[in-house]
Amino acid sequence: METTTAKAAEIAEWMVKEVKFRGILYQTEVIDHILANYGEAYIYVNENGNQSIDKEVKKRFKKLHGGKAAWDRDGFFWGWT
């Protein structure tokens, strides 16, 4: 099943809204949201064997937040700066 750019944009917009409103957004919460609302098409298993967010979604999220959300590698979350 192929991902659509419209859905990727929709997910990215939700991510920006959430991190902006809450101040912090955990990757696990994003994955749970995607699986519940969009299915597995926007999730993949990375080289470490962990679930990760589709690259197109992450690319759009990065463009939308324009550097205002910082990724915390140790905590696996984004924080609004």
Domain boundaries, the chain: 5-68
Q: Is the pLDDT of residue 3 over 80?
A: no
pLDDT confidence of 68, banded at 50, 70, 90?
A: very high
- Let me know: does 79 contact 68? Beta carbons within 8 Å: no
Beta bridge partners of 77: 26, 72
Check the CA dihedral 68-65-62-33 and report its sign.
Answer: positive
Q: What is the dihedral of CA 68, 50, 22, 60, to 10 degrees?
A: 40
Task: Look at the pTM and tell me if it is higher than 0.85.
Answer: yes
Give pLDDT tens digits for 6-63.
999 999 999 999 999 999 999 999 999 999 999 999 999 999 999 999 999 999 999 9
The DSSP symbol for 41 reads G
